[in-house]
Chains A and B, each alone.
Chain A
Amino acid sequence: MSGIFIALPVAVMIAVAAVAAFIWAARRDQFEDLDTPPRRMLHDDVPLPSQQTEKRTLH
């Protein structure tokens, strides 16, 4: 049972580390946009057909 004197502070340290990681992420705008990335990752990154000619048509 005396192990609790070590286990509890360790648990608190882990929680502190998690909170620190969360603050780090929040400060770097990781939670800024939660709608777009899950959609973006589903888009296949296929090359557009005949890119060179397209540039001309759009210009």
Chain B
Amino acid sequence: MTVVAEIDCECAHCGLPVAADDVDSSAVEQFCCGGCRAVWTSLHSCGLEQYYELKAREAAVRDDRRPANVTQRRFAHLERPEFVAKHVRIASDGRLSTELCVDGLHCGACVWLLEALPRLVEGLLSVRVDIGRAVALIEWEQGRVTLGEIARRFDQLGYQLLPMLDPAARENDRAIDRAWLIRLGIAAALTSNSMAVAFALYGGLFATMATPYRVFFQWASVALAIGALVGPGRIYFVNALAAIRTRTPHMDIPVALGLFAATGSGLVNTLRGTGTIYCESATALVFLLLVGRFIQYRQQRKARQDVELITTLVPAIARRRSTDGAIEEVPIEALMRGDLVEVLVGETVPCDGVLVSGVVHFDVAILTGESKPALTNAGESVWAGTRSLDQPATVVVEVSGEATRAGRLLALVADASRRRPPIVELANRMAGWFLLAVLAGSGFTAWWWWHLGSDVAIARAVALLVVTCPCALGLATPLAIASALGKAARAGVLVKGGDVLERLAMPGTIVLDKTGTLTQGRMTVTSSEGDATAFALAGALEQSSCHPIATAISRAFAPRNSTAASTSRVHERAGYGIEGEVDGQAVALGNHAFVTERYGEAPRWAKTFASSAMARAETPVYVGVDGALRGVISVGDPIRSEAQSIVAQVRSLGWNVVMCSGDQLTVARAVGRAVGLGNDEIEAGCDPERKLAFMRDRAHASPVVMVGDGVNDLAAMAAADVGVAVRNGAQSALHVADVCLAAGGLRPLVKLLSGAQRTMRAIRITLAVSIAYNATGGVLAFNGLVNPLVAAVLMPVSSLTVLWLALWLPKFDPVRRAEEVVP
């Protein structure tokens, strides 16, 4: 039995490993696919090879390396009047400009490459790339070049220009962003000045400060606090009033009360000329809480935009055949029921409809998660988003756009992500109550000790105000989370938001997709038994078929540069097998029925091999040459080597593990057995809708995590408390997921779960230390054991302790180099 191994070799363009059977031993540069080869060639032909030097120096912005995608489309839709009216701005001097999304941006070298294009393309005036938002501002001269031509140049280099979905909404988002920035800037300036004034005031309490100066400082502090409340802090009062009007509890109510009490008492005390003020804390709290809110707002908006991006799943352009037989490219909106649409091999179907003629294999993994291609006969249904694998297909349109199954799926995704309740961060919940408690404590101290004289009472109340400090509370959680996210990214886990870590704090249920998550997601020859020369002939014959099993066999047994064997009289019987002549020898491969029909009953060794392959949920392919059965090849989607140990480790962290698969029960159970899952932990035959329902059933008790790779997992990922996408998954899965495992395989999953638990423990420790310090300091101050000067020194010390704990405690194990090698 021979096992196929892969050699480590990197693609000259994208840097991803090249499969052993794609290695061209006669060339210096190796490519993983035709797209990368095409981009590499066109970069060298026009003197842009500097790109590779730059790329080697640059740190990646997006850690989703993937092969270059060259579609060779016409991009005629970018020149249609509807598009121009909505997206293109015309300046008075005849210059046109537009903003478009760019797919395929990776690092600073891409910025250089695209911004160098105006020097090569006549009429293209400038390209400005915003790599963070993946948007390019393109300016060109009317009449000298068209946007379609520019898009084709981008395409030649492996970048796709996509229309922005809603330019008006983007403009609106930018306005909101600016308002937030300005609000934050004002709050920061007020806080820093208020702190400086407070420092002088606290200092003046112990030395002698003449009353006019003290009153002056107090007025300054009160004015700054009122500025903070009326300006940037207004939103807390607006939210609190709205909450009171609708009689719903809201965390802004205590915040608003605390801010009002602190500033109000400061103002009253200043007017009366006695007592102390606590205004700088109100100002600081406005700023600190705003920072937290801003981060939260950005995350939510990003999630919303990413859901919009996945509508690019279905092509925007269809090839429509008109009545006279001519083919024209039209946007899918123009498709009518009954139109005929051509779909070339490898292309995505743009609409739901019915296959007109022939027998075509479609890759339906995107919709159902089934790894085996679906055999479709004339008259049967075809779905938008699926891909034709072996034959060009003609489809009669039934519905297109949002009414398709893929469109409804996307609606489910958007709906599920909207419905997920936002988590109010722990620190946010506590901050308002903290402020109120401190004020109440201080008032109580003054009242309690009044009988000893107002001097003593006020000194103790002030000491309590100074010694308790909301800074640590406000900053500890965001800092611990920021530090954890940075460490996670270095460990190969890209976490999109801090709330993800809070959701993962308690163990719950983890749902694993099968195809592409537990398995590698690509048909591969796993083992074979029999005559090697027969396999070489089989490989040569299979080169003429596009079926995934055929591709796997030809990859394994027909090296690209072997002298091309001449094949003739090839006949493929869909669903059974293929036969033909290779170098004059009659070769036939196929399933059991196909082969017994030609060679009679299979021998015992072949049957044993075949049944063991089927027990592993693999497909046995019989090979016959010149009238005799010569061997059996087993083709399957191999299970990731680390899957079993990962399942065990995740269990040991206290999580329940469930596998959800679009495949049939027997296949799902075979894979489940191999990774150590019991039959009751397996859900088979799950289409996206069932996966979604499955998640909703479990969503109440404990957190549910969905780990997947494909579009069929999207809705479930969005509905789960946390969606995790594995590397090399669908682009849209990366957008919807809360977490992307950037390092290969499933290993980072364990790091994510254990890292999240450690981070939450770190946050709780930090908060506990902060509260313990505040409580101790408060009690000591109440009893007059801390004088205000000592308190003023202790305050920064406590803050530093808490900050140090927050930055140092959260830990993620880094990925060791050896683990990154893809098996």
Contacts and interface: CB of A to CB of B under 8 A. Distances in A.
A49 B47 contact: yes
A53 to B, nearest CB: 9
B264 interface: no
B61 A55 contact: no
Contacts of A39: 58, 107-108, 111, 131
Contacts of A29: 174, 178
Interface string A16-55: 0011001100110101111110011011001111110011
Nearest to A42: B108
A49 to B, nearest CB: 5
B26 interface: no
Contact of B189 (A8, A19, A34, A43): A19
Given A23-B185, A43-B112, A35 B46 contact: no
Interface stretch (B89-97, B118-126, B487-495): B118-126
B213 interface: yes
Contacts of A58: 42, 45-46, 120-121, 153
Given A22-B182, A32-B174, A15 B54 contact: no
User: Chain B interface mostly helix, strand, loop or mixed?
Assistant: helix
A49 B186 CA distance: 50
A23 B189 CA distance: 12
A29 B112 CA distance: 22
Contacts of A5: 216
A48 B119 CA distance: 8
Nearest to A9: B220
Given A11-B193, A43-B54, A55-B122, A48 B131 contact: no
Nearest to B107: A39
A12 B46 contact: no
Interface in B44-76: 45-48, 50, 54, 58, 61
Contacts of A43: 54, 108, 111-112, 115
Contacts of B177: 32
B181 interface: yes
A8 B122 CA distance: 59
Given A35-B130, A39-B111, A8 B216 contact: yes
Interface residues of B, number: 42
B130 A33 contact: yes
B156 to A, nearest CB: 8
Given A32-B174, A36-B132, A48 B213 contact: no
Nearest to B149: A59
B132 A1 contact: no
A29 to B, nearest CB: 8
B199 to A, nearest CB: 12
B120 A51 contact: yes
B133 interface: yes
Interface string B175-194: 00110011001100100110
B818 to A, nearest CB: 31
B814 to A, nearest CB: 24
Interface of B: 42, 45-48, 50, 54, 58, 61, 107-108, 111-112, 115-116, 119-122, 129-133, 153, 174, 177-178, 181-182, 185-186, 189, 192-193, 196-197, 210, 213, 216-217, 220
23 contacts: A4-B216, A11-B196, A12-B220, A15-B189, A19-B185, A19-B186, A22-B189, A29-B178, A32-B177, A33-B132, A33-B133, A35-B131, A39-B111, A40-B108, A42-B108, A43-B54, A46-B50, A51-B120, A54-B47, A55-B120, A55-B122, A57-B45, A58-B42
Interface of A: 1, 4-5, 8, 11-12, 15, 18-19, 22-23, 26-27, 29, 31-36, 39-40, 42-43, 46-51, 54-55, 57-59
Given A43-B115, A54-B47, A59-B122, 18 more contacts: A4-B216, A8-B220, A12-B220, A19-B185, A22-B185, A22-B189, A23-B185, A29-B178, A32-B130, A33-B130, A33-B132, A35-B132, A36-B108, A36-B111, A46-B50, A48-B120, A49-B47, A50-B47
